[in-house]
Structure 1
Amino acid sequence: MDGIHEILKEIHTSPSEEDVIATIIRVEGSAYRKEGTSLLFRRDGTKVGMLSAGCLETDLYCRVPEIIEQRKTRTIVYDLKAEDDLSWGQGAGCNGVISVLLEPVDAFLREHLCKLKFHLDRGNRVTIIKKLADDYSVSDYLYIADNHDLFGKWHGGVPVFMKELISEVHKTYPKSGIIYCSELSANLYIHSFEPKPRLMVFGAGMDAVPLVKLASITGFYVIVSDWRSSLCNEEYFPNADQHIVGFPEETVKKINFTKSDSVLILTHHFQRDKELLHHLRNRELMYLGVLGSKTRTERLLGGKEIPPEINSPVGLPIMADGPEEIAVSIVAELIQRQREKRSEEVISL
């Protein structure tokens, strides 16, 4: 994940005139993170997000006061290719050149970032276009949401070809970065922000706790549902974004499922699992998994063979043992499925 959701939350809940956003806009060779990854610097030293394994953050933070004082954007280039300790490679030998854009968050940008959060929270993908000057500072920027809402700071009218350009970018997902636009005679930085993928966890047992925590940390919007209010609450699942209390027939009606959603059934209650599987098996989902053995899942299906749209057992085959390792295997499979699905969508375009 590119870290934008945590950054937007911080800016929205705790606004400041002394914030600076650092974004990787170009990578030549290999690097720890890719184009589109962002980090928020706050004047008090707080950082939200991560750009590297620690190689760049200290130097970037030293530049924050200057960026705040001058109120101008600036791009810093780091050459991490060298393997000696006297260069930016710092002996790591990462074999990459990274360009990082630093932007002060003024009132206008903060307003637009809050609008970006509004769209992402409602499931809309938003693409940013930044027009770069010769020194790679930002002269104009424009956000375009999937629902065609446009906002930003763009001088003059928005060219018609912009939407065609966005369409081409979406076809080449996940490529983000800098391209030259002959129509504008300028370089453009382009990146698409994706809404958080949703994960519904049916079952609030203790083994769901590490699963929900790990899924949340890795960028999922997590919903926990269970009929036991004593378990399905913020005390037991502080990392969950939403808690829905009720029996299967009640809760599935409260959720608007989409083909981008992942669902896990792990109530450890045979009848409840059976009811959930009955309500969910014919829905178009990104992932539907049932915790337990293949034999148990076949029993849930009345002895029928498990269809390909139902994953059982769940998780990557890493011989996981215990709730924490099982959580790792499941979340890894969910991430893998997300990446595979996006690749398939690009190929089909």
Structure 2
Amino acid sequence: MKEIADIIKAHAQARKDGKKTALATVVKVEGSSYRRPGARMLITEDGILTGAISGGCLEGDALRKALSAIHQQENKLVTYDSMDEDDAKFGVQLGCNGIVYILFEPIFDDQEVNPITILAELESKRKNAALAVLFSLEGKKQIGTYMLLRQHDQFKNKENEYFPSLSDDLQQVLAEKKSTFLDYNAGKELITAFLEFISPPIALIIAGAGNDAQPLANIADILGWNVTIADGRLTHATSQRFPKANQILVAKPGQLLQQITIDENTAFVLMTHNYNYDLKLLDLLLPTNAPYIGSLGPKKKLIRMLDELNLNTDQNQSRVHGPIGLDIGAETAEEIAISIVAEIKAVLSGATAGRLKEKIAPIHVHEIKNN
């Protein structure tokens, strides 16, 4: 979602400056590629790039293709194939053994609904969403970013002329929380739909406004997470100390939970260095559906808190991550912040947090369902 937020901001600036833009979207990948379907990049007519569709090897050629789409005022699907050893003929060195399909869409700012307004609508609400991008691998009908669906909300680019089942298919993506590809017949042409499941960014609630919380808040902000700082001390929980935080709350534990919403992408980190504050907050959090609760400090501290709450069960010890973070040999506040962020990302993604070199299956093997 951070990439989408950055693209929306960049487009607003480009529009203010009177610059034409195009949106590049990775819509399909066969084999290995640095970025997966759903990666996006905004290109301005003067060559400013926001976002990324590769590790840097495609961006130069993508600029040329985007300018062509802008000047011809039509969507274009471009295929980059490095399965052939001589990939130099494409004018790029992909470095990956795969085929990447990228859709280029010129943005028409006079249109009420265009790819950017759809992305802006996506970002406007903190809800799971399913987004349909339609393209043709063999024909010329490159429809592009087409429809956004949330549970009780639909937002589309144009009338649904050929795809009466698309809303139901997007609803299925929402239910399964998994992106997929489907084919539709549009007249005599076969249209492929990339139906992308997109969840809101992680909401990180940092209970504690000490110096060690500052690098954690900064790293989470770089990742595009929504950061809330909570502490009972007026002198510590300030915008001067946490300029990148989305929200700063000076509150006791009970007051804190009354001012936030917990969803399936919410992570709590208890690091106030105030035992009683952490104890009270942990007591309030355990009955909630918060998917991640982490406690800074030694294991014996967590066990002591659970004992005092009469909640020292195997289930609660397993649910609360304490000591918090992955074992990366962290010592400094910055290193500890990295270990915490990495563990939160792994837990909420359902990943093992193991070394990639020891993984036998492809890295993204379960990311997208192919029908």
TM-score, structure 2 as length reference:
0.81
* Percentage identity across paired residues of the two chains: 27
> In the alignment, which residue of structure 2 is the partner of 1:62?
64
Note if 1:336 corresponds to 2:346: yes
> In the alignment, which residue of structure 1 is the partner of 2:201?
196
> In the alignment, which residue of structure 1 is the partner of 2:356?
none
Match of 1:122 among 121, 125, 145: 125
Change (3 A) 1:261 1:79: same
Change (3 A) 1:43 1:235: farther
Aligned equivalents of 1:152, 1:269: Cα separation in 2: 50
Match of 1:325 among 335, 342, 345: 335
Kindly report which structure 2 residues correspond to 1:189-338, keeping only aligned pairs within 5 A, or say none.
189-190=193-194, 191-303=196-308, 305=312, 307=316, 308-338=318-348
Helix, strand or coil at the partner of 2:63? helix
Aligned equivalents of 2:14, 2:246: Cα separation in 1: 19
1:148 Cα deviation after fit: 3.4
Helix, strand or coil at the partner of 2:321? coil
Aligned equivalents of 1:2, 1:238: Cα separation in 2: 18
Match of 1:99 among 98, 101, 120: 101
Q: 1:79-123: per-residue Cα shift (whole Å, max 9, x none)?
A: 233556834596664101111111111123766633543443322
Greater mean alpha carbon deviation, residues 5-14 or residues 260-269: 5-14
Contact kept in structure 2, 1:17 and 1:105, CA below 8 Å: no
Aligned partner of 1:282: which letter? P
Aligned partner of 1:147: which letter? Q
Aligned equivalents of 1:171, 1:216: Cα separation in 2: 29
Greater mean alpha carbon deviation, residues 217-226 or residues 140-149: 140-149
Contact kept in structure 2, 1:120 and 1:196, CA below 8 Å: no
> In the alignment, which residue of structure 1 is the partner of 2:184?
181
Aligned partner of 2:98: which letter? G
1:170 Cα deviation after fit: 4.1
> In the alignment, which residue of structure 2 is the partner of 1:139?
143
Aligned partner of 1:148: which letter? H
> In the alignment, which residue of structure 1 is the partner of 2:6?
6
Aligned equivalents of 2:76, 2:93: Cα separation in 1: 26
Helix, strand or coil at the partner of 1:321? coil
> In the alignment, which residue of structure 2 is the partner of 1:53?
55
Change (3 A) 1:266 1:2: closer
1:157 Cα deviation after fit: 5.0
Note if 1:74 corresponds to 2:76: yes
Q: 1:220-258: per-residue Cα shift (whole Å, max 9, x none)?
A: 222122223443233322332222222323222111222
Aligned partner of 2:155: which letter? F
Contact kept in structure 2, 1:130 and 1:138, CA below 8 Å: no
After superposition, the CA RMSD in angstroms is 3.0
Change (3 A) 1:309 1:90: same
Aligned partner of 1:319: which letter? G
Change (3 A) 1:166 1:157: same
Paired residues in the alignment total: 344
1:137 Cα deviation after fit: 4.9
Q: 1:25-60: per-residue Cα shift (whole Å, max 9, x none)?
A: 110101001001101112343221111111000111
Aligned equivalents of 1:318, 1:111: Cα separation in 2: 44
Greater mean alpha carbon deviation, residues 215-224 or residues 133-142: 133-142
1:171 Cα deviation after fit: 5.8
Aligned equivalents of 1:238, 1:9: Cα separation in 2: 19
Greater mean alpha carbon deviation, residues 139-148 or residues 274-283: 139-148
Q: Structure 1: 5+ residue runs without aligned partners?
A: none
Helix, strand or coil at the partner of 2:170? helix
Change (3 A) 1:125 1:137: farther
Contact kept in structure 2, 1:131 and 1:186, CA below 8 Å: no
Helix, strand or coil at the partner of 1:138? coil
Q: Structure 2: 5+ residue runs without aligned partners?
A: 352-364
Helix, strand or coil at the partner of 2:241? coil
Contact kept in structure 2, 1:30 and 1:96, CA below 8 Å: yes
1:208 Cα deviation after fit: 1.4
Contact kept in structure 1, 2:129 and 2:174, CA below 8 Å: no
Q: 1:103-160: per-residue Cα shift (whole Å, max 9, x none)?
A: 1111237666335434433222232223335445523653232233222223455754
